[in-house]
């Protein structure tokens, strides 16, 4: 690769993520020869080769067992929403999920107790502080579910529903996101349970403001255990791809969570997923993400792909040094910043023609065919590219110059001229094709 991986592509050289190959559903490809590697896979190998020499940062040591982590470990995996798995390096090595779990447990809390109860308990404002900050909002709520206070409050909500089975519920949900049964690192769990006095302080503060009920120790244990769930970089990529795929795991096809909850989860990941680096992150990378002190990062780009990285050396914010670099490089190289989208509503019309010479599979009576042949120029076919978003309505409608009729009906907006009518279904707009009338 001629240019550094962290450099932006030159003008006109953008590789759009939509050009990801799509012909090997569910396949997993590892370390093939450079020349035969698909571009994305080659890019990940290049990232691995370039960033593995960066030994800056340090493994987390405030949970004693995490000091055992091997700082040389470095794994990257990327999963597209159509189920391609790309992986390189130590993508199959297990480590504890830690705070990456917060995004998925927040989704679970929303599913279990509903949006209103979650909103009454936890805010959604970035705290601008470290993940283990003991400060609450002015109305004594955790700032957001991506910092420890908010995550412990989430565990509290799940505990209110499931009692002692709360952890099992969490493990099952995360396993569905990952598409495999996830285990727990008992040594890390015990180590954090023994030394987690700061989290204990946070939990008791939450108890003081009635954010938690009486069972503080049980809630904390659910939280500590959730942080000790074992995942690989590949698991994280699948979990992120499930978010990117509107809640459906692209490998198992299981509908894990609703699209509505996915949008809420990605929102808090966007604003608060990288702790006090969140602003910088959204500015530079522009992909909803969440990191953990075990060295993992998940990043989910809606409708495209999920990324999982693992490298235990952390920077001062608690984010994996190499993982951060991979995300930055991927975003820059493939132009993935979510606010820099190229899909343009004006390109939704891909063809516009009358029906002269167009054959149809329907068999018609000779007199019908005669009418079509004679009146071919009265009939117009406009082909729209799917998915059609609400913003496409206007350009498509104005293609029908001076429509004879344009009215909203209960089922959608109908635009008609002469022999043509298109119904844009309101219900299915923002992700659906126009209905034929």
By the criterion CB under 6 A, which residues form the site for ligand GLN?
Answer: 98-99, 131-132, 148, 192, 199, 227, 292-293, 318
For residue 67, the minimal CB distance to ligand GLN (Å) is 14
Give which of 248, 203, 193 is closest to 225, Cα–Cα. Answer: 193
HSE-CB at 168 with a 13 A cutoff on CA atoms is 5
The residue count for the chain: 437
Burial class, 87, CB count within 10 angstroms (exposed 0-12 / middle 13-18 / buried 19+): buried
- Beta carbon nearer to ligand GLN, 156 or 292: 292
Min dist CB 316 to ligand GLN, Å, is: 13
According to DSSP, the residues that pair with 96 across neighbouring strands are 230
- The Cα 385–Cα 345 span in angstroms is 10
CA angle 435, 305, 126 (to 5 degrees): 100
State the minimum distance, in angstroms, from the CB of residue 75 to ligand GLN: 17
Q: In which residue are the tokens 């490998």 written?
A: 251
CB of 85 or CB of 227, closer to ligand GLN: 227
Nearer to ligand GLN, 177 or 424 (CB): 177
Of residues 250 and 292, the one with the C-beta less far from ligand GLN: 292
CA dihedral for 26, 30, 32, 36, sign (positive or negative): positive
Q: Toward ligand GLN, which CB reaches closer, 131 or 177?
A: 131
In angstroms, what is the minimal distance from the CB of 148 to ligand GLN? Answer: 5
Nearest Cα to 143, choosing from 278, 316, 287?
278
Supply the minimum distance, in Å, between the C-beta of residue 293 and ligand GLN.
4
Closest-CA residue to 228 (of 203, 199, 174, 192): 192
| Helices vs. strands in the chain: H and E counts, helices first | 14, 14
Q: In whole angstroms, how close is the CB of 348 to ligand GLN at the nearest point?
A: 42
DSSP H or E segment with residue 250: none
Give the nearest distance from C-beta 311 to ligand GLN in angstroms: 14
| Shortest distance in whole angstroms from residue 310 CB to ligand GLN | 13
Burial class (CB in 10 A: 0-12, 13-18, 19+), 339: exposed
Closest distance of CB 185 from ligand GLN, Å: 11
Closer by beta carbon to ligand GLN, 81 or else 108: 108
User: Whole-number minimum distance, CB 283 to ligand GLN, in Å?
Assistant: 21
d(CA 215, CA 160): 9
Nearer to ligand GLN, 295 or 434 (CB): 295
Task: Decide the pairing of beta strands 85-89 and 28-29.
Answer: parallel
Closest to ligand GLN by CB, 127 or 132: 132
Whether residue 314 contacts residue 321, with contact meaning beta carbons closer than 8 Å, is answered with: yes
Q: Which is nearer to ligand GLN, 111 or 192 (CB)?
A: 192
Closest-approach residue to ligand GLN (CB) = 99
Report the distance separating Cα 315 and Cα 293, nearest Å. 10
Token pair for 217: 């120790």
Q: Is the dihedral of CA 307, 312, 314, 317 positive or negative?
A: positive
Q: Name the residue nearer to ligand GLN (CB basis): 30 or 198.
A: 198
Closest distance between ligand GLN and the C-beta of residue 101, in Å?
8
Residue 320 in tokens: 């994996």
Quick one: 395 exposed, middle or buried, by C-beta within 10 A (0-12, 13-18, 19+)?
Answer: middle
Judged by beta carbon, residue 88 or residue 99, the one nearer ligand GLN is 99
């Amino acid at each position: 690769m001629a240019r550094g991986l962290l450099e932006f592509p030159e003008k006109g050289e953008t590789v759009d993520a939509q050009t990801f190959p799509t012909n090997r559903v569910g396949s997993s490809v590892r370390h093939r020869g450079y020349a035969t590697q698909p571009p994305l896979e080659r890019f990940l190998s290049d990232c691995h080769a370039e960033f593995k020499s960066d030994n800056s940062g340090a493994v987390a040591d405030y949970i004693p067992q995490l000091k055992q982590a091997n700082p040389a470990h470095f794994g990257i995996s990327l999963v597209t929403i159509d189920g391609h798995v790309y992986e390189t390096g130590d993508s199959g090595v297990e480590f504890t999920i830690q705070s990456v779990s917060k995004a998925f447990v927040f989704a679970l809390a929303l599913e279990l107790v509903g949006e209103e109860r979650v909103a009454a308990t936890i805010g959604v404002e970035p705290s601008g502080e470290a993940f283990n900050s003991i400060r609450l909002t002015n109305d004594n709520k955790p700032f957001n579910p991506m910092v420890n206070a908010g995550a412990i409050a989430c565990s509290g909500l799940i505990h209110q529903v499931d009692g002692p089975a709360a952890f099992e519920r969490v493990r099952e949900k995360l396993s569905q996101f990952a598409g495999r049964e996830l285990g727990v690192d008992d040594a890390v769990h015990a180590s954090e349970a023994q030394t987690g006095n700061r989290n204990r302080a946070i939990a008791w503060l939450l108890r003081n403001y009635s954010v938690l009920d009486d069972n503080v120790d049980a809630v904390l244990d659910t939280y500590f255990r959730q942080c000790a769930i074992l995942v690989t970089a590949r698991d994280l990529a699948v979990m992120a791809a499930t978010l990117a795929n509107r809640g459906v795991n692209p490998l198992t096809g299981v509908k894990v969570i609703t699209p509505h909850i996915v949008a809420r989860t990605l929102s808090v990941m966007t604003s608060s997923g990288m702790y006090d680096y969140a602003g910088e992150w959204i500015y530079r990378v522009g992909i909803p993400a969440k990191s953990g002190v075990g060295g993992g990062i998940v990043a989910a780009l809606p409708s495209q792909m999920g990324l999982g990285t693992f490298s235990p050396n952390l920077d001062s914010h608690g984010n994996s040094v190499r993982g951060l670099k991979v995300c930055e490089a991927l975003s820059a190289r493939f132009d993935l910043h979510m606010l820099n989208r190229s899909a343009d509503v004006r390109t939704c019309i891909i063809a516009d023609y009358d029906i002269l010479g167009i054959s149809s599979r329907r068999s018609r009576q000779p007199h019908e065919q005669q009418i079509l042949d004679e009146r071919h120029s009265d009939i117009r076919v406009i082909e729209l590219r799917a998915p059609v978003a609400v913003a496409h309505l206007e350009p498509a409608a104005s293609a029908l110059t001076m429509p004879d009729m344009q009215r909203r009906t209960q089922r959608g907006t109908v635009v008609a001229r002469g022999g043509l009518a298109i119904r844009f279904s309101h219900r299915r707009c923002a992700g659906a094709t126009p209905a034929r009338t």
